[in-house]
Every structure is written in C-alpha cells, then in structure tokens.
Amino acid sequence: MNAGATDKAAAWIYNGLWGVLVEWFRVPRAAPETPAGHDGTAHSFNPAPGYLRYVKLSFWIILVIIDLALLAAWLVIFSEAGAVWALALAIPWLVIMIVPDVIAYIGIHLRYDTMWYVLTDKSMRLRRGVMLVRETTITYENVQNVSVRQGPLQRYFGIANVVVETAGGGGGESGTGSSSHTGVLEGVSNASELRDLIMTRVRQSRSAGLGDDDHRHRQEERGAFGAEHLDALRAIRDEARALAERGNARS
C-alpha cells in the first residue's frame, strides 16, 4: 500500500468535497472579513494542528468502543442464530461500522477547517460551523473576563481553550462553542499569549464595559478647564483683588 498515494487521493477527494460545499452549499472557505478600523496588526488563524489531533484521538476512542460493541453483537448473533444469519448480516453490519466513521472523520476535518479566529487590536471575530455558519464579533472594550481551560488530553496535545466573556448571563458553563455573551477560541496552542493580548486591551479600558462612555475618563484627566479658562479666571481674580484693594484704600 502506497501511503503517499492514498494521502494524495484523500486530499483530492477532500478538496473536491470542499468545492461542492463552496459552490452548492455556499460554505465560506476564506477567513472571515476583518472588522474595519484596525491598525494593521490583525491576523486570522485556525485552531492549532494539535487541536485536530486531539479531536481525532477522541474520535478514535469513541469509534473503537462503538465498533467493539457492534462486533460483540455480531458474535452473539453468530453463536445464537447461526452462521447463515451472521453471514447475511455481515455486509450491512460492516456498512454500519464503517460509513458513519468515514462521515464523522470528514466532519472533523471540515469542522477544523471552518473554525476561524480573527484578532485585531480592537476586536475579535470568531467563526465556526459548516451547515450553520456562525460569526461572533466582540470588542475588547466589552470583555469582562478571560479564562483559559485545559483538560489533561488537551495538555498532552499542547492546546487550550480561551474563553472570553462579556457582560450578561445566559451562557452555560459548557466551555465549548461560542454561545451568547461568550467567545471561545477553542484549541489554540498559544493560549497564554492570547490571554495576555486580550487582557492588556481590557486593562487599558477604564470603563465597566456596560455601554459607558469610553472617553469620559480622558476628559476628566484633561480637566474640564483649558488654558483659556484659567487665563480668564486669573483675570477675574486680579480684578476682584484690585477692587478689594481700592475698597480698603478708601476706608
């Protein structure tokens, strides 16, 4: 068996499938649009390759369990109902064992290739989904907290989930999937880097992230009075002082 040839064939079939998805099912293949108004440091990326291996390992574990169960059931039929029944069932049994696995395996690759994270200096945009394409846009200004979650298997593959939460409830503790008020950067290899990047932005903002004015504090810093106001105030003080002195001199 030529491993290179099978890889090539698999890649060819996979690309053909993508062509069908893009043409007929209008699945976007390119990265999501970058939110406007960034400073040019925006970058788009997929989850880390370790994430693909992690999902595949989980897939293989479940596959082995299910197929062993199916094999055991077939052996029970073989011993109880006889070889004729068992042989008649062999073909559909194999179909049941293999076809869902192939579909799931392709699905894993599609899921991986459709997961996109776009980070700019002001906001982030996350996309996932093949049939239902879902894009979430969150500005760092609105972020309340950032948490990093990592299980033992994920640690082995060197990946983690970065969960970004905005104000408002409802989002479950699931940790996967971008539900309401949360954005999940699933399966990234540079989780602490991304956490620092987002938290730096969050710290720079002095508002509560609840729709308050994001430049009110800068006005306070500057002071409500400008140089002209101070000049006018000084002139008023001088006038008042001169007036008082005149009054003192006369009395």
Partner 1 sequence: MGNPQANPTEAEPLDARAITRPEPVLLTYYTVVSALALVFFPFVFLPQYFKYKTLRYRFDDEGVSMAWGLLFRRETNLTYRRIQDIHLTRGLIQRWLGLATLGIQTASGSSSAEMEIVGITRAADLRDFLYERMRGAKGLNEAPPAEAGSEPSETDEALALLHEIRDELRAIRERAGNGP
Q: Is 133 in the site for partner 1 (CB under 8 A)?
A: yes
Residues in the chain: 251
What is the closest distance, in whole angstroms, from the C-beta atom of residue 186 to partner 1 in the complex?
Answer: 17
List all residues 6 or more positions away from 229 whose beta carbon is below 8 Å from its beta carbon.
none
Size of the site for partner 1 (CB under 8 A): 62
Contact string (CB under 8 A) for partner 1, positions 31-50, x = contact = --x-xxx-x-----------
Q: Tokens at residue 250, please?
A: 């006369």
Q: Is 193 in the site for partner 1 (CB under 8 A)?
A: no
Task: Please state, in angstroms and as integers, the Cα–Cα distance from residue 148 to each residue in 1, 16, 34, 180, following that order.
Answer: 43, 37, 24, 18
> How far apart (Å, rounded) are the C-alpha atoms in residues 11 and 113?
13
Nearer to partner 1, 151 or 172 (CB): 172
Q: Which of residues 47-66 bind partner 1 (CB under 8 A)?
A: none
**Helices 3-24, 83-114: inter-axial angle, 10-degree rounding:** 70
Among 67, 101, 113, 141, binds partner 1 (CB under 8 A): 141
What is the closest distance, in whole angstroms, from the C-beta atom of residue 196 to partner 1 in the complex?
Answer: 18
Which residues, listed in sequence order, are joined to residue 36 by a DSSP beta bridge? none
Contact 98, 72 (CB under 8 A): no
Q: Which residues bind partner 1 (CB under 8 A)?
A: 25-28, 30, 33, 35-37, 39, 121-123, 131-142, 166-172, 179-181, 183, 204-205, 207, 209-211, 213-215, 218-219, 224-226, 228-229, 232-233, 235-236, 239-240, 242-243, 246-247
